Copies of this chain bind each other. A is one copy, B any other.
Amino acid sequence: MRLIPRETKFFEMFAEVSANLCEGARLLERILRQSGSDIPQMVQQFKRIEHRGDDMTHAILTRLNQTFITPFDREDIHRLASSLDDVLDFMNAAAVRLVMYKITDPPRAAADLAALVVQQSDELAAAVSLLGKNQNLLDHCVEVNRLENEADVVSRAAIAELFETERDPIRLIKIKELYEVLEAATDKAEDVANVLEAVVLKSA
């Protein structure tokens, strides 16, 4: 009788983290489709989402350390919380670079990469909502991996083009790193999908 609320609580907390991730991804895409003077203020807004994510992750890990019976493998709860947090961290790394490097006209491929992170976040939120039910959860994981492969292709093409066309090495360094941290965000989303997949397979 007492176990049900505990189980539910972890699922609720992960649903909140996923919703926050989706909100962050959408804002990041909007920032990157932007150009000009609004960017620093929107990046401030993004940072608030990132801090909220940190607090949520911390709350899950604290609860985990104080909970004896968990709805699924203790290590996997830890991995799931950490890997979801990593996705937001790398999105934040992209947002921060816009300000740090004073990039006022992000290239189109950066926004396209962010759009892939939006799609991955939506798939992850759908997968997380199926935790404990497991039905169809794997389909969402497969889609997250497919989107990661797509991001790989997009970022490689964008970097290759950058090396073809950009003659200013300092601008090249800035934009290359922007692409790389966005691509890393899609890798981290794949890590989340791998954790979810392991949870499902263990309970099968």
Interface residues in chain A, defined as those with a beta carbon under 8 Å from any beta carbon in chain B:
61-62, 65-66, 96, 99-102, 156, 159-160, 163, 169-170, 172-174, 176, 198, 201-202, 204
**A163-B174, A204-B66 as given contacts; A96 in contact with B169, CB under 8 Å:** no
A172 to B163, CA, bound (A): 12
Whether the pair B96, A163 counts as a contact (CB closer than 8 A) is no
A37 to B100, CA, bound (A): 33
Q: Which of A100, A159, A204 has the most CB of B within 10 A?
A: A100
Q: Which residues of B contact A62 (CB under 8 A)?
A: 201
Whether the pair A102, B170 counts as a contact (CB closer than 8 A) is no
Q: Which residues of B contact A204 (CB under 8 A)?
A: 65-66
**A96-B156, A198-B61 as given contacts; A163 in contact with B66, CB under 8 Å:** no
Whether the pair A65, B101 counts as a contact (CB closer than 8 A) is no
**CB-CB nearest 3 A-B residue pairs:** A65-B201, A169-B169, A100-B160
A102 to B96, CA, bound (A): 30
Whether the pair A163, B198 counts as a contact (CB closer than 8 A) is no
Q: Which residues of B contact A99 (CB under 8 A)?
A: 160
User: What would be 21 A-B contacts, judged by CB atoms less than 8 Å apart?
Assistant: A61-B198, A62-B201, A65-B198, A65-B202, A65-B204, A66-B201, A66-B204, A96-B156, A99-B160, A100-B156, A100-B159, A100-B160, A101-B160, A101-B163, A102-B160, A102-B163, A163-B174, A169-B169, A169-B170, A172-B173, A173-B173
A172 to B198, CA, bound (A): 41
A163 to B100, CA, bound (A): 9
In the assembled complex, the CB of A148 is this many whole angstroms from the nearest CB of chain B, namely: 12
Q: Which residues of B contact A101 (CB under 8 A)?
A: 160, 163
Q: Which residues of B contact A202 (CB under 8 A)?
A: 65
